[in-house]
Amino acid sequence: MFEMNKEEFEIWRSQIVTSKEDHQGLRYMPFCFTEQGVTMISCILNSERAIHVNILIIRIFTLFRQMLNDNTELRLEIEKLKNKLNNHDKNIDMVFQYLDELLDKKVQPESPRKAIGYEITK
């Protein structure tokens, strides 16, 4: 269990859409439980309701963890795609640069070349 800091409290307050008061009439910042803390409480509390609530909370923690893992995998896949796209962009830029160089060579008039082959004299 830990006590929220001011930044966590502001985020929490904005998510539950509460009054505009600084601490909502609270003298202290609220306390929060970690997943392990909820498990420890469920070992101590024996009432039917407490056990049911703790099981639900543990299921929510498990869902959060799964969502974070899924998002991490998606984020990694997106990063791989970004890297591939960046490489493609660099390669395409290089191709266009080479094409520009070739076009510049064609546009510039070349010096007359010496004819190759037999000369026919009249």
Tell me the pLDDT tens digit for each residue of 95-119: 888 888 888 776 666 677 777 888 7
The whole-model pTM stands at: 0.40
What's the confidence (pLDDT) of residue 113? Answer: 75
Residue with tokens 């049911």: 52
- Model confidence at 24, pLDDT cuts 50, 70, 90, reads low
Provide the total of helices (H) and of strands (E) in the chain, helices listed first: 3, 2
* Per-residue pLDDT at 83 exceeds 60: yes
Which of 8-12, 51-55, 56-60 shows the lowest mean pLDDT across its residues? 8-12
Query: Can you read off the two tokens belonging to residue 75?
Result: 């984020």
What's the confidence (pLDDT) of residue 76? Answer: 86
- CA 51/CA 41 separation, integer angstroms: 9
* Per-residue pLDDT at 43 exceeds 70: yes
Query: Can you read off the two tokens belonging to residue 61?
Result: 């923690």
Q: Write the CA distances from 83 to 74, 80, 94, 97, 106, integer angstroms.
A: 14, 5, 17, 21, 35
Which of 20-24, 65-69, 116-120 shows the lowest mean pLDDT across its residues? 20-24
Highest mean pLDDT among 5-19, 49-63, 102-116: 49-63
